[in-house]
Structure 1
Amino acid sequence: MALFLRVLDAVGPLNKSHGPNGLCLLLRPFIEDYNPRWYSSYRRPGTAPDNTPPWKNIHIDLKKGVEVIKEHSRRLKKEIVDHLRGVDGLTLSEYLTEQTRVVWQFRSEEDLKQWVISSDAEIGGKSEVYLKLGKNNQSAVLYGTIDTTVPRDGETKYSGYCAMKTKPRLGAFNRDRPYDWTNFNSLHLRVRGDGRPWMINIYTNPYFSHTKDILYNYFMFTRGGPYWEEIRIPFSKFFYSVRSRIQDDQHPLLVDKISTLGFTLADKVDGPFQLEIDYIGLIRDGAHSEDCAYELYEKNPKNPK
Structure 2
Amino acid sequence: MSRIRALWNASINATKRALTWNLEELMPPQEMCVFSFSSKEDLKRWHLYSDSEYGGLSSASLEVKDAENGLNGIFSGNLSSEVSDGSRWRMNRSGFCGMRSKKFDGFIDLDPYDTLAFKLKGDGRCYISTIYTENWINAPGQLEDNTWQAFVVLPRGNWYIAKIPLASYLPTWRGNIVDARLEMNPSRVVGMSLSVNAEGGVPGTKSGPGDFKLEIDWIKALRSG
Q: Same fold per TM (> 0.5)?
A: yes
Following superposition, the deviation at residue 92 of structure 1 comes to 6.0
Per-residue Cα deviation, 1:41-65 (whole angstroms, up to 9, x for no partner): xxxxxxxxxxxxxxxxxxxxxxxxx
Residue 79 (structure 2) aligns with: 146
User: How far has the Cα of 1:134 moved from its partner?
Assistant: 2.3
1:100 aligns with 2:35: no
The equivalent position to 1:157 in structure 2, one of 89, 92, 103, is 92
Q: Distance in 1 between matches of 2:188 and 2:176?
A: 21
Which of structures 1 and 2 has the larger relative contact order (alpha carbons within 8 angstroms, sep 6+)? 2
d(CA) in 2 for partners of 1:230, 1:148: 30
1:168-202 CA distances to partner (integer Å, 9 max, x unpaired)? Answer: 112xxxxxx01111110100111001010011111
Q: 2:150 aligns with which of 218, 225, 228?
A: 218
When residues 163 and 282 of structure 1 are mapped into structure 2, their CA distance, relative to the original with a 3 A threshold, is same
Greater share of residues in helix: 1
Residues 228-239 of structure 1 aligned to structure 2 (within 5 Å): 228-239=159-170
In structure 2, the residue matched to 1:35 is none
Deviation at 1:138, TM superposition (A): 2.1
Equivalent position of 2:101 in the other structure: 166
**How many Å separate the matches in 1 of 2:156 and 2:98?**
19
**1:63-104 residue CA offsets vs partner (Å, 9 max, x unmatched):** xxxxxxxxxxxxxxxxxxxxxxxxxxxx86334151111111
What is the 5 A alignment of 1:1-305? 93-135=24-66, 138-152=71-85, 153=87, 155-170=90-105, 177-207=106-136, 209-210=141-142, 212=144, 214-225=146-157, 227-268=158-199, 269-286=208-225
Offset, 1:167: 0.6
Shift in Å, 1:150: 2.8
Q: Aligned residue pairs: how many?
A: 189
1:256 shift after superposition: 0.5
Q: Which runs of 5+ in 2 are unaligned?
A: 1-21, 200-207
Aligned-residue offset at 1:213: 5.1
- Looking at structure 2, the residues matched to 178 and 100 of structure 1 have their Cα atoms a distance apart, in angstroms, of 17
- Structure 1 runs, 4 residues or longer, greater than 6 Å off: none
Structure 2 CA distance for partners of 1:92 and 1:169, relative to 1, 3 Å:
farther
**2: CA distance between counterparts of 1:117 and 1:128?**
9
> Residue 157 of structure 1: CA displacement?
3.1
Q: Counting strand residues as a fraction of each chain, which structure ranks higher?
A: 2
Sort the Cα spacing of 1:94 and 1:242 in 2 relative to 1 into closer, same or farther, 3 A: same
Post-superposition CA distance 1:106-156 (Å, at most 9, x none): 121110000111111111211110111021652100011111113443622
In structure 1, what residue type is equivalent to 2:153? Answer: F
Are the equivalent residues in 1 in contact too, given 2:56–2:84 (CA < 8 A)? Answer: yes
Following superposition, the deviation at residue 214 of structure 1 comes to 2.6
Distance in 2 of aligned mates of 1:186 and 1:242: 22
Q: How far has the Cα of 1:211 moved from its partner?
A: 5.6
Q: Distance in 1 between matches of 2:187 and 2:145?
A: 18
Identity, % of aligned pairs? 28
Distance 1:203 1:134 in 2: 28
Which SS does the other structure have where 2:186 is aligned?
Answer: coil
Q: Cα–Cα, structure 1 residues 209 and 93, in superposed 2: closer, same or farther, change >3 Å?
A: farther
